[in-house]
Amino acid sequence: MTNKIVSETAIQPSALSRWIKSISLTSMAPLIALIVLLILSAMVSDHFLIPRNLTNVLRQVSYTGIIALGMTFLIIAGGIDLSVGSMLALVGVLVIMILNHLGDGWMAVMIAISAAMALGAFFGAINGWLTTKGKITAFVATLATMSIFRSFTLYISDAGEMVSRNNLYSDVGTGYFLGLPVPVWVFLILAIIGHILLRHTAYGRHLCAVGSNPKVASYSAINVSKVYFLSFIILGFTVGISAVMLSSRLNSISPGDAGLFYELDAIAAVVIGGTALSGGKGTIWGTVIGAIILGIINNMLNLSGVSPYLQGAVKGFVILIAVLMQYKRAQ
């Protein structure tokens, strides 16, 4: 008896330290990469640390960052959504149509924003319905809706740019609060809500269970398709919010190019943040860091005058290095 206790206490600290070690190395990798990148950027360009530049970068990343938050949920659940960029354009065009129909005033803006969230959640639900009820793989279903959403966007807008006639709408996306742009606040607040939802609720635990092994999850009385479906709705909701932030910053939306390749940036942010594409585990704060890393790379390359043709290659290399670092640590 005493022997057993002794051996248990002897094992405890080593297990704990091993746990701490594994946590700090695998999940700190994105943070370390971010810090390295910050130092590098500050060295390379005198302009990088100007406060206005930092808030610009944060605002630039907030659009894909907000989507990446929702994408984290879906990827943890084992899914993927390629339609988010087209969905953003579709919601954006619809929001500006609603806004121009309602006219001036804050009331119109509030209704339009609520409509954007509802529309985003609705389009997300379509994707969710196709994958859970229609039994189509998420990759294929959202590949199809990517095309459908973009096509509808072009059709209803007649492929012309939609400009908001509301005099207050652009205040949402261009405004500042306590020194930070409004879209950045929205991004950070949503990140906190997302973190709580993922870490401290039953839904978050179910999501991880579904992602790591749906069969086992369903034996544990988890409604797998409901959990999966909900993650599509969460993602759609974040796309709706992102559409508001982007279209109000620009006071317009261009149906042909709004949200183009946002799905790739959002997925890249999630992956750089340490979430496994195979599902089951991941963190919200990792995604936030991943999104910021992508934004800083872009900004640093612009500020330091790297040839525009090379920028994509540098971005790709950094994604590869970030993922390789995590892969190595995880081993």
Partner 1 sequence: MNLFKKMGKLALGAILLTTFASQSAIAAKYKVGVSVPSADHGWTAGLLWWANKAVADFKKSDDDVEFYVVAASSGSKQVGDVEDLMIRGIDALVILPLNPATLQNVINEAYDSDIYTVVVDRELETPSQNVFIAGDNAGLGTVSGKWLAKELKEKGNIVVIEGMPIPINKQRVDAFDAEIAKHKGIKILDSQTADWSTQKALAVMENFLQKHPKIDAVWCQDDDMLKGVLQAIKESGRTDIKTVLGGAGSKDIYKMIKDNNPVVRASVTYPPSMVASGIALAVAGLKNEKVGKMYHTSPSRVILAAELVDKHNVDAFYTPESAY
Minimum separation from the CB atom of position 96 to partner 1 (A): 10
Minimum separation from the CB atom of position 283 to partner 1 (A): 24
DSSP readout, 187-226? Answer: HHHHHHHHHHHHHSSHHHHHHHHHHH-HHHHHHTT--HHH
- Element (H or E) spanning 176, and its range? strand 176-177
Closest CB to partner 1 among 142 and 242? 242
Cβ contact 195:73 at 8 Å: no
Closest CB to partner 1 among 131 and 166? 166
Nearest to 208 by CA among 284, 280, 283: 280
The residue type found at 236 is: G
Distance CA 15, CA 17 (A): 6
- Structure tokens belonging to residue 111: 């209704």
Closest CB to partner 1 among 56 and 212? 56
> In the complex, which residues of this chain contact partner 1 (CB under 8 A)?
40, 44-45, 47, 50, 52-53, 56, 60, 63, 154, 158-163, 170, 174, 246, 249-254, 256-258, 260-261, 298-299, 302-310, 314, 317, 321, 324, 328
Distance CA 69, CA 267 (A): 10
Minimum separation from the CB atom of position 21 to partner 1 (A): 19
Minimum separation from the CB atom of position 55 to partner 1 (A): 10
Cβ contact 190:199 at 8 Å: no
- How many other CB atoms are found less than 10 A from the CB of residue 71? 32
Rounded to 5°, the CA angle 236-67-276 comes to 105
Closest CB to partner 1 among 105 and 316? 316
Nearest to 278 by CA among 330, 313, 315: 330
Minimum separation from the CB atom of position 284 to partner 1 (A): 24
Closest CB to partner 1 among 231 and 248? 248
If phi over 0 gives left and psi between -120 and 50 gives alpha, with beta otherwise, what is residue 274? left
Minimum separation from the CB atom of position 254 to partner 1 (A): 4
Closest CB to partner 1 among 138 and 293? 293
Minimum separation from the CB atom of position 133 to partner 1 (A): 34
Closest CB to partner 1 among 231 and 238? 238
